[in-house]
Amino acid sequence: MKRSLLFAYQWVTGLSDTMTGILLCIAPEFTLRLMGLHASSEMAPYLAYIGAFVFSVGLACLYGVVLFHYESFDRLEVVWLLTAISRCAVAIYVLKAILAGTLEPGWISVAAFDTLCVAVQAVGLRHRWLAQV
């Protein structure tokens, strides 16, 4: 059970970030509308740049799926550590920007998703979940 749950987690995080990143790169305004957010058209190049970052985190998570398949759990722990650091930085920035009024409150979903992923990965690393599958 734990193995299949962790494998599903890896797929979900990888696919969600990879797809969001691709969409932000090719259609940033449309992507934000899907997320229930708004941005001016002059922000599109910056959102596409952010999309490249989100895409890279997603690819790292999908690489984790490959590592999981080959039972390279020591390497997957590194993926979890590095993606958790990136997600933590994003969550802190987004939360700060919401509180400062520079991002609309709807961005809380981004901070919440990243915070949830950080929590899962931090607890999983602390308790060595991947070494036990």
> How many structural domains is the chain composed of?
1
CB contact set of 89 (below 8 Å; sequence gap of 6+): none
Q: Write the pLDDT tens digit of every residue in 94-128.
A: 999 999 999 999 999 999 999 999 999 999 999 99
Residue 51's pLDDT is 97
Residue 40's pLDDT is 83
Residue 127: phi, psi to the nearest 5?
-95, 5
Look up the domain containing 14 and give its range: 2-132
pLDDT at residue 2 above 80? yes
Q: How confident is the model at residue 1 (pLDDT cuts 50, 70, 90)?
A: low
- CA-CA distance, 39 to 29, in Å (whole number)? 7
Query: Smallest Cα–Cα separation from 40: which of 54, 28, 51?
Result: 28
- CA-CA distance, 57 to 17, in Å (whole number)? 7
- CA-CA distance, 73 to 123, in Å (whole number)? 15
Helices 44-69/2-26 angle, 10° precision: 150
Cβ–Cβ under 8 Å, residues 129 and 6: yes
Q: Write the pLDDT tens digit of every residue in 22-45.
A: 999 999 999 999 999 988 889 999
Percent above pLDDT 70 for the chain: 99
As a whole number, the mean pLDDT across the chain is: 96
Percent above pLDDT 90 for the chain: 95
pTM for the whole thing? 0.94
Residue 41's pLDDT is 86
Compute CA distances 10 → 20, 33, 107, whole Å. 16, 26, 23
CB contact set of 124 (below 8 Å; sequence gap of 6+): 6, 80, 130
- CA-CA distance, 89 to 97, in Å (whole number)? 12
Region 79-104: mean pLDDT is 97
